[in-house]
Amino acid sequence: MHRSLIILTIFLLGCSTPSRLLTINPIANNNKDVFILSTLIRDHLRQTNGREFSLFELHKNDPLKRISNNFDLIEMKAKGGYISIYFKFSKSRDESEIEFSDQEKEMLVRNNWTEKRFGENYDGEIRFDYGERFYRIKRLVLKRE
């Protein structure tokens, strides 16, 4: 009896996993406006079945005006395996005032953030899966300084 209790205790302790803390990637923390832009684009792609759009249309869908003055340009390009949205920051960019809900904070952490070199034309890229994968945000790529 004691032997089976000891074995059961060892089994239960061995199978437990430590709780996982969500830490915010420093790239993500400094680019909250890019995350908001990506969610607005994703929602627009889902609602319109992948139709092209403008920055003005996205501003209309942003009731809290969190990205209103942060971007000058967005450009959509279809690539093999994903849709790319290239963007350029405006000179009046201010993402310090952006506040997130708890759900948005969790989504911010779970996204894949990377840096790479871009030409002069763009400051970053947001990659989305195609419609058959529900336009999921695949990766957020920002210009390496």
Q: How confident is the model at residue 78 (pLDDT cuts 50, 70, 90)?
A: confident
Name the pTM for this structure.
Answer: 0.80
pLDDT band at 88 (very low <50, low <70, confident <90, very high): very high
pLDDT digits (tens, 9 = 90+) for 16-27: 555 555 566 788
DSSP of 94-137: --TT----HHHHHHHHHS-EEEE---TT-SEEEEE--GGGTT-E
Contact of 70 with 46, CB cutoff 8 Å: no
What proportion of the chain, given as a percentage, has pLDDT over 70? 90
Return the DSSP state at 24: -
In the predicted model, is pLDDT for residue 15 greater than 70? Answer: no
